[in-house]
Structure 1
Amino acid sequence: MRNWAGKLLAVAQRDASVLLITTVATALVRLASSVVLTRLLAPDVFGIVGIITTIIMFLTLMTDFGFQPFVVRHHRGDDPNFLNVIWTIHAARGVVLAAIAGGSAGAVAWILDKPALQLPLMAASMTLLVNGLASMSLIALIRAGRVSAISFFDLGMVVLQTIMAIILAAMLHSVWAIIAAMILQSIVRALLSYILFGRSIRKPSWDWSIWDEFRPFSWIIMKSSALFLLVTQLDKVALARLLSLHDFGLYTVAASLSTVPGLFAYAYGSRILYPRYSRALREDAAVAPEAYYADRRLISRLYSFATGALVTSAPALVSLLYDPRYAEAARYLSILAVSGMLLLSNIAASEYLTASGRVVSGLRANQLRVAWICSAGAAGYFLIGTLGVVLAIGFMEVVPLIYFWLVLRRQGVLNWSQEALQLGLSLLGLAAGSAASIGYFAATTLLLQR
């Protein structure tokens, strides 16, 4: 048993290293893109793109059938006929979503009182159609544990979109640069999903037995994702109406920076932890609780410290990266980054419980998030205005963390010392980030005086 656990830990650490490297590289590329594009484009452009991203996210999550977890955990996940049926559902969903996004563009622009939004949204809806037609090979890579392949593939797509966006922004100086880059990237991604990976060609097919099995699973996932959508996008929907395009652009820039830890946390959870937990539970459920912390011990500690530092170093970071037009984004970033400190723990708990068959736990956690954001967000807005909504978003992971602690404790999985250590490292990160920010501004002041 110890030998088996040791091998599992070694593989998990290797995959985690690859994922960490590619996630850091992705974050650096996106950061470079943000720095360059904010010098080529006005804040209004990022306001429009932020709204479009929210709408696409809204449609995607409202119809999240759980394709990836269903295929990864299913015993027929390698069967061509099974994959054909799932691909057929996936493609049909993409066609419907593209039609909805494009057809409602005018109404959305009118409701939000943002006329400049209509045409870009109509064009961006094509990404939903193209993504729906992509191969199942990317999910198959996750099932097979080929974390390196999917991680480097995703990194390549980010680099490609960044290069296209910068080139087009230098030529067009308008929102169309980013929209065109989004469309081109989705086309290239879909094509490469067939070209680069073997046995990836799919054809329309149907099997009622697969659908009957997929439907109840997808219904639970869809409800959970719909609630997750409200949690992550409700603030943007509200603020898109309340703020000007300029101010919403600042919020979008801050939100983009604050999601960097989430890029790693969600990828780490779905691509490494979920497959590992699923395999551990299938092969020897008795040792699975040991894998809950063992598979992520070092990563969790580094993550906790780094995310804590991001909260308090936000003013220095924004000052260093952006011109004075974007200075107000620092306030938003400091608040939004708080939720990132707790995110990895919550994702790990959700993935473990889902792998063990307790899919409803993710739904319950999202219900708590929605209840928090609606109550705390409304109270915050009543007391201090739009900043109150942002504060509610920043602290939304506290309630689900407590919920997951209770559930894991009942399952005999929770280790209080491990949880306390992670929180302690977050506090240490807060102190380190604060010291770094103070040092940065002190050094800047001295240089200006000279």
Structure 2
Amino acid sequence: MLDRTVQSGIWAGGIKFSSRFLQILMLIVLARLLAPRQFGLVGIALISLSATRNFSNIGLKTALIQHKSANVDNYLDTAWCLEAARGAVIFGVLFIFAPLIAGVFDEPSATPLIRVIGVGPLLFGLRNPGIIYFRKDLEFHKEFVYNVSGGFVQFFVGVGYALVSPTVWALVFAYASADVFRFGLSYLVHDYRPWPSFDISIAKELIDYGKWITASSVLYFLYKEGDDAFVGWFISATALGFYQYAYRIADTPSSEVSEVFASVSFPAYSKLQDSPSELRQALLATTRLTGFVTIPMSLGIALVAPSFVPVVLGPEWTRMIRPMQLLALYGLFHSITRNFGSVFKALDRPDIIAKVSALRVVCIALLIWPAAERFGIEGVALVVVGVYAFPMLPLDVYLISQLTETDPMAFAREWFYPVVAAGSMFGGLWQVRKMFEVSPLVELIALIPAGVIVYTVLCFLLARYSRWQIEGDIRSIVGSLG
């Protein structure tokens, strides 16, 4: 199980890093060609799409992965019909209500963008359901081909269109082209062929498991993108462009790196759901590895933001530096607890995710308006960070400890060592930077390798002279690959 999980993790990491690299590279190129307001207009369309998707998510993929049966062919046709119907409804809702949605944001020009973006879920619902086996069976090398090839299509269409016509449509067609390509590719990479047949008992079984996934998905949208929607509505589309871009970069440790661990650990945890001791060991090992990788990434993003933004994106984007630094702390908190959700789902307790998310939404809703009115997008970022630091982080630790019968201090011990190493790296390099006056380009080039070297050395010393087990984990991973 370890060997297969590690190998799947490598492939899953390749998927996430390749996809995010292509997306970030595309956005960097387009940031030099398009204005922040144009990114905000597309952001309105993407928020609309995300809202309809999350409000209609019935958790079919999660239910099929979590199912104890290795072969779920009997479920696929019914799941395909449900997803196809869902996609058609989403497309219809977005097409009909696009003018109303655009009017809420006082941006009528977003109407056609919303309608074109709405084609994505229509195609998503009709894709081959057989590709669920890639994740269920930990065959991430196949999912790598499926996802990354779509990322290449998105990159070349977006950049190519922008070079010919630098308008907002470059972003829209980039996202739409990836959806079209992945729809066709799904039937080439897996030999299952769906047929429009529907079994009511199967549908009830899938939906019964997914009801809490639906609730948590709705709440996930509200706490993850509700702040985006609020910024676009309360402040402006331009502010939304700054905020979304800052969030997208700052949340990289959570959305990409820890998501790799979460995506691999969920099927692995599901296979261990009847072995509590093995599940606890796997949970602590995942927590240790996640903190080791994501904590320095988050603090590193906060460290390099003042030089990264003007050098890479351009001077017109400097408004996003402070929100980006604040949201890097959110990326840190979010990343180190993200795999907890995989445990809740694997142990058939997705209701916990929904209930915790509801509390988080309430906390953000109470604070976001006065914070935005007083401090703008910096205030919104501060609320997002503050709510996750307290009460969400302690609550997550308490709930996972109770469910798995794990000592809460065990999680704190796993986070302590990377926090010490990364915090020392951040503090030391921050002071060094203040001592020298150099150009942002030179500063950026120097800070990144310096941060990697300092953190690596400190981790080596901590692993050698303390009880931190990260060295053993790395040896196990290397041995599994060998």
- Whether TM exceeds 0.5 here: the answer is yes
Q: Measure the CA separation in 1 of the matches of 2:100 and 2:52.
A: 15
How much does 1:147 deviate?
Answer: 1.9
Contact kept in structure 2, 1:346 and 1:400, CA below 8 Å = no
Alignment pair present for 1:214 and 2:209: no
Alignment pair present for 1:439 and 2:433: yes
Alignment pair present for 1:348 and 2:339: yes
Contact kept in structure 2, 1:311 and 1:430, CA below 8 Å = no
Report which stretch shifted further, 116-125 or 380-389: 380-389
How much does 1:339 deviate?
Answer: 1.3
Q: Measure the CA separation in 2 of the matches of 1:156 and 1:426.
A: 36
Change (3 A) 1:98 1:270: farther
Q: Measure the CA separation in 2 of the matches of 1:443 and 1:113.
A: 43
How much does 1:316 deviate?
Answer: 2.0
Helix, strand or coil at the partner of 1:95: helix
| Match of residue 138 from structure 1 | 131
> Which residue type is aligned with residue 437 of structure 2?
A
> Which residue type is aligned with residue 326 of structure 1?
W
Q: Measure the CA separation in 1 of the matches of 2:235 and 2:50.
A: 20
Structure 1 vs Structure 2: percent identity of aligned residues?
20
For 1:236-251, list aligned pairs within 5 A: 236-251=228-243
Question: Which one of the candidate residues 294, 304, 307 is aligned to 2:298?
Answer: 307
| Match of residue 4 from structure 1 | none
How much does 1:68 deviate?
Answer: 1.5
Change (3 A) 1:124 1:382: closer
Q: Measure the CA separation in 1 of the matches of 2:234 and 2:242.
A: 13
Change (3 A) 1:379 1:77: farther
> Which residue type is aligned with residue 302 of structure 2?
V
How much does 1:188 deviate?
Answer: 0.6
Report which stretch shifted further, 226-235 or 148-157: 148-157
Alignment pair present for 1:55 and 2:44: no
Unaligned runs of 5+ in 2: 444-482
For 1:39-50, list aligned pairs within 5 A: 39-50=32-43
TM-score under structure 2 length normalisation: 0.85
Report which stretch shifted further, 266-275 or 36-45: 266-275
For 1:29-428, list aligned pairs within 5 A: 29-76=22-69, 78-199=71-192, 201-265=193-257, 267-282=259-274, 284-381=275-372, 383-398=374-389, 399-411=391-403, 412-426=405-419, 428=421
Q: Measure the CA separation in 2 of the matches of 1:378 and 1:123.
A: 31
Change (3 A) 1:386 1:318: closer
The number of equivalent residue pairs is 439
Q: Measure the CA separation in 1 of the matches of 2:129 and 2:38.
A: 34
Q: CA RMSD in A?
A: 2.3
Q: Measure the CA separation in 2 of the matches of 1:358 and 1:261.
A: 25
Change (3 A) 1:167 1:416: same
Q: Measure the CA separation in 1 of the matches of 2:442 and 2:271.
A: 56
How much does 1:415 deviate?
Answer: 4.9
How much does 1:344 deviate?
Answer: 2.8
> Which residue type is aligned with residue 438 of structure 2?
A
TM-score under structure 1 length normalisation: 0.91
Report which stretch shifted further, 348-357 or 403-412: 403-412
Q: Measure the CA separation in 1 of the matches of 2:4 and 2:334.
A: 23
Change (3 A) 1:413 1:72: same
Q: Measure the CA separation in 2 of the matches of 1:266 and 1:205.
A: 37
> Which residue type is aligned with residue 365 of structure 2?
C
| Match of residue 5 from structure 1 | none
Helix, strand or coil at the partner of 2:225: helix
> Which residue type is aligned with residue 444 of structure 1?
S
| Match of residue 466 from structure 2 | none
> Which residue type is aligned with residue 290 of structure 1?
Q
Unaligned runs of 5+ in 1: 1-7
Change (3 A) 1:87 1:270: farther
> Which residue type is aligned with residue 151 of structure 1?
F
Alignment pair present for 1:15 and 2:11: no
Contact kept in structure 2, 1:18 and 1:151, CA below 8 Å = yes
How much does 1:432 deviate?
Answer: 2.9
